[in-house]
Amino acid sequence: MAKEISRMLLIIPEIKELLSQNRKDELKDLFYEYEPVEVAEALKEFTLKDRVILFSLCDIDFAADIFEKMDKDNQLTLLGAIDERRKSDILDELAPDERVDLFEEMPEEMVARFLDIMEKEKARDARELLKYEPSTAGGRMTTDFAQVQEGLTVEETLGNLRKTAKGLEMVYYVYVLDKDNKLVGVVSLKDLILAEPKERINKVMHTKLITIPVDMDQETVAEEIAKYDFMALPVVDNGKMKGIITVDDVIDVIREENTEDMYKFGAAGRHRENYMSMKPSFIAKHRVLYLTIFVLMDFFSGMILKNYSFALNSVVALAFFIPLLMDTGGNAGTQAASVMVRGLATGEVRIKDIWNVVRKEFIIGIMIGVVLGLIALIRALILQKNPGVTLTVGLTMIVTVTIATCLGSFLPIVFKRLGFDPALISGPLITTIVDITCLIIYFEIAIHLLGIV
Amino acid sequence: MAKEISRMLLIIPEIKELLSQNRKDELKDLFYEYEPVEVAEALKEFTLKDRVILFSLCDIDFAADIFEKMDKDNQLTLLGAIDERRKSDILDELAPDERVDLFEEMPEEMVARFLDIMEKEKARDARELLKYEPSTAGGRMTTDFAQVQEGLTVEETLGNLRKTAKGLEMVYYVYVLDKDNKLVGVVSLKDLILAEPKERINKVMHTKLITIPVDMDQETVAEEIAKYDFMALPVVDNGKMKGIITVDDVIDVIREENTEDMYKFGAAGRHRENYMSMKPSFIAKHRVLYLTIFVLMDFFSGMILKNYSFALNSVVALAFFIPLLMDTGGNAGTQAASVMVRGLATGEVRIKDIWNVVRKEFIIGIMIGVVLGLIALIRALILQKNPGVTLTVGLTMIVTVTIATCLGSFLPIVFKRLGFDPALISGPLITTIVDITCLIIYFEIAIHLLGIV
Please list every residue in chain A whose beta carbon sits closer than 8 Å to the beta carbon of residue B309: 316-317, 319-320
pLDDT score of A6: 66
> Using the beta-carbon criterion (under 8 Å), do A327 and B324 form an inter-chain contact?
no
Q: Supply the pLDDT for residue B381.
A: 84
Please tell me the predicted confidence (pLDDT) of residue A30. 87
**CB contact residues (below 8 A), chain A span 173-192, against chain B:** 189-190
Measured distance CA(B342)–CA(B264) in Å, rounded: 12
A334, A428 in Cβ contact below 8 A? Answer: no
Q: Is any Cβ of chain A less than 8 angstroms from the Cβ of B229?
A: yes
Q: Which helix (H) or strand (E) holds A14?
A: helix A12-20
Q: Is the pLDDT of residue B382 over 50?
A: yes
pLDDT at A175: 96
Q: Which CATH superfamily is domain A7-131 in?
A: MgtE N-terminal domain-like (1.25.60.10)
Instruction: Determine contact, residues A137/A108, Cβ cutoff 8 Å.
Output: no
Residues of chain B neighbouring A339 (CB-CB closer than 8 A): 263, 266, 268, 275, 283
Instruction: Please give the share of chain A, as a percent, with pLDDT higher than 70.
Output: 98
Q: Is A299 helix (H, G, I), strand (E, B) or coil?
A: helix
Give the Cα separation of B453 and B446 in Å (integer).
11
Q: Kindly tell me if the per-residue pLDDT of A5 is higher than 80.
A: no
Q: Which of B31, B72, B217, B229 to mutate to test the interface with A (most CBs of A within 10 A)?
A: B229
Is the CB of A162 less than 8 angstroms away from the CB of B258?
A: no
Cross-chain residue pair A368–B291, CB shorter than 8 Å: yes
Distance CA A265, CA A411 (A): 13
User: How confident is the model at residue B13, as a pLDDT?
Assistant: 87
Strands B232-237, B240-246: parallel, antiparallel or unpaired by DSSP?
antiparallel
The SS3 of residue A211 is: coil
Q: Is the pLDDT of residue A398 over 90?
A: yes
More confident residue, A8 or A211: A211
Q: In angstroms, rounded to a whole number, what is the distance separating the alpha carbons of residues A217 and A396? A: 44
Q: What is the dihedral of CA A401, A403, A405, A410, to 10 degrees?
A: -170
Residue B3 has pLDDT above 60, yes or no: no
- A268, closest residue in chain B (CA to CA): B335
Q: What is the pLDDT of residues A186-203, one digit of tens each?
A: 999 999 989 999 999 999
ipTM over 0.95: no
Residues of A in contact with B276 (CB under 8 A): 343, 348-349, 353, 356-357
Distance CA A398, CA A325 (A): 10
Interface test with B, best of A324, A386, A393 (most B CBs within 10 A): A324
Alpha carbon of A113: minimum distance to chain B alpha carbons (Å):
31
SS (H, E, C) chain B: CCCCCCHHHHHHHHHHHHHHCCCHHHHHHHHCCCCHHHHHHHHCCCCHHHHHHHHHHCCHHHHHHHHHCCCHHHHHHHHHHCCHHHHHHHHHHCCHHHHHHHHCCCCHHHHHHHHHHCCHHHHHHHHHHHCCCCCEHHHHCECCCEEEECCCEHHHHHHHHHHHHHHCCCCCEEEEECCCCEEEEEEEHHHHHHCCCCCEHHHHCECCCCCEECCCEHHHHHHHHHHHCCCEEEEEECCEEEEEEEHHHHHHHHHHHHHHHHHHHCCCCCCCCCHHHCCHHHHHHHHHHHHHHHHHHHHHHHHHHHHCHHHHHHCHHHHHHHHHHHHHHHHHHHHHHHHHHHHHHHCCCCHHHHHHHHHHHHHHHHHHHHHHHHHHHHHHHHHCCCHHHHHHHHHHHHHHHHHHHHHHHHHHHHHHHCCCCHHHCCHHHHHHHHHHHHHHHHHHHHHHHHCCC
At residue A187, the pLDDT reads 94
Query: Helix, strand, or coil here: A63?
Result: helix
CATH number of A275-450: 1.10.357.20
Q: Which residues of A touch B335 (CB under 8 A)?
A: 266-269, 287, 290-291, 428
Q: What is the pLDDT of residue A2?
A: 37
| Among A158, A251, A360, beta carbon nearest to B280 | A360
Provide the pLDDT for residue B88: 86
CA distance A179 to chain B (A): 25
DSSP 3-state assignment of A369?
Answer: helix
Query: How far away is chain A from the Cα of B66, in angstroms, using its nearest Cα?
Result: 11
- Find residues 63-122 of chain B whose CB sits inside 8 Å of chain A: none
Q: Work out the pLDDT band at B5, boundaries 50, 70, 90.
A: low
Query: Alpha-carbon distance B88 to B291, whole Å?
Result: 46
Task: Read off φ and ψ for residue A35, nearest 5 degrees.
Answer: -75, 150
* B320–A305 CB contact, under 8 Å: yes
Does the pLDDT of residue A145 top 70, yes or no? yes
CATH fourth-level superfamily of A146-246: CBS-domain (3.10.580.10)
Q: Is residue B227 a contact partner of residue B388, using CB atoms and an 8 Å limit?
A: no
A162 touches chain B (CB under 8 A): yes
Taking alpha carbons only, the member of A432, A374, A444 closest to residue A408 is A432
**What pLDDT score does B113 carry?**
86
Q: Do the Cβ atoms of B358 and B394 come closer than 8 Å?
A: no
Separation in Å, CA of B79 to nearest CA in chain A: 22
Residues composing chain B: 453
Q: Quote the radius of gyration of chain B (alpha carbons, Å).
A: 30
**pLDDT for res B179:** 92
pLDDT at A358 over 80: yes
Q: How far is CA A135 from CA A101, A141, A155, A224, B351, in A?
A: 10, 10, 38, 15, 31
The Cα of B328 is separated from the nearest Cα of chain A by a number of Å equal to: 7
Distances (CA, A) of B326 to A290, A295, B319, B333: 16, 11, 11, 11
Residues A83-129 pLDDT 10s: 888 888 888 888 888 888 888 888 888 888 888 888 888 888 888 88
* Residue among A171, A349, A435 whose CB faces B190 most closely: A171
Strands A146-149 and A173-177 turn out to be: parallel
DSSP state of A348: S
pLDDT at B2: 37
Q: Using CA atoms, how far apart are residues A25 and A44, in angstroms rounded to an integer? A: 21
Going by pLDDT thresholds of 50, 70 and 90, the confidence category of residue B152 is very high
- Mean pLDDT computed over every residue of chain B: 89
User: A352 in contact with B at a CB cutoff of 8 Å?
Assistant: no
Do A209 and A234 form a contact (C-beta atoms < 8 A)?
yes
Residue pair B298/A328 in contact by the 8 Å Cβ criterion: yes
CA distance linking residue A344 with residue A413, whole number of Å: 8
Do the domains at A7-131 and A275-450 have one common CATH topology? no
Q: Which residues contact B291 (CB under 8 A, 6 or more apart)?
A: A328, A331, A332, A335, A368, A372, A401, B267, B428
pLDDT at B316: 82
Q: Do B248 and A257 touch (CB under 8 A)?
A: no
Confidence band of A4 (pLDDT split at 50, 70, 90): very low
CA pair distance B384, B397, nearest whole angstrom: 16
Assess B46–A contact: CB distance below 8 Å, yes or no.
no
Nearest Cα neighbor of B57 from B27, B16, B19 is B27
The answer to whether B353 faces chain A, any CB pair under 8 Å, is yes
Q: If we measure between CA atoms, which residue out of A319, A264, A267, A270 comes closest to residue A297?
A: A267
Spans of all domains in chain A: 7-131, 146-246, 275-450
* Contact list, B265 vs chain A (CB under 8 Å): 262, 265-266, 338, 427
Hey, what CATH topology would domain B146-255 get? CBS-domain (3.10.580)
**Is the CB of A319 inside 8 Å of chain B's CB atoms?**
yes
How many A/B residue pairs have CB atoms within 8 Å? 396
Among A289, A338, A353, A382, the strongest candidate for a mutation testing the B interface, having the largest count of B CBs within 10 A, is A338
Of A434 and A381, the structure prediction assigns the larger pLDDT to A434
Interface of A with B in 259-318 (CB under 8 A): 259, 261-263, 265-269, 271, 274-276, 280-281, 283-284, 287-288, 290-292, 294-295, 298-299, 301-303, 305-306, 309, 312-313, 316-317
B428, A331: Cβ pair inside 8 Å?
Answer: yes
Confidence class for position B4, pLDDT limits 50, 70, 90: very low
Residues A294-312 have pLDDT tens digits of 999 988 888 898 899 888 8
Q: What are phi and psi of B182, to 5 degrees?
A: -80, 140
Cα-Cα end-to-end distance for chain B: 57
Taking the C-alpha atoms of residue B95 and residue B91, their distance in angstroms, rounded to an integer, is: 9
- What is the residue type of B41? E
CB-based contact, A215 to chain B, within 8 Å: no
Contact B158 A193 (CB under 8 A): yes
User: Measured between CB atoms, does B5 come within 8 Å of chain A?
Assistant: no
Taking the CA atoms of B384, B387, B388 and B394 in sequence, report the sign of the dihedral they define.
Answer: positive
CA distance B272 to B279: 10
Q: In chain A, whose CA is at the least distance from the CA of B252?
A: A226
Q: With contact defined as beta carbons under 8 Å apart, do B91 and B118 qualify?
A: yes
| Predicted local distance difference test score (pLDDT) of residue B136 | 92
> Which residue of A2, A336, A426 is in closest CB contact with B219?
A2
Outline where A149-279 has alpha helix (H): 154-164, 189-194, 201-204, 218-228, 247-265
- Mean pLDDT across chain A, nearest whole number? 89
- The DSSP H or E segment spanning A326 is helix A322-346
Q: Do B364 and A283 touch (CB under 8 A)?
A: yes
d(CA A100, CA A141): 10
Q: Is A432 on the interface with B (CB under 8 A)?
A: yes
CA angle at A429 for the pair A424 and A433, rounded to the nearest 5°: 135
For A168, phi then psi, to 5°, come to: -100, 140
Beta carbons of A34 and B208 less than 8 Å apart? yes
Q: If you ran DSSP here, which 8-state letter would residue A136 be given?
A: B
Mean pLDDT value across residues A418-440: 92
Q: How confident is the model at residue B226 (pLDDT cuts 50, 70, 90)?
A: confident
pLDDT in tens, B354-364: 999 999 999 99
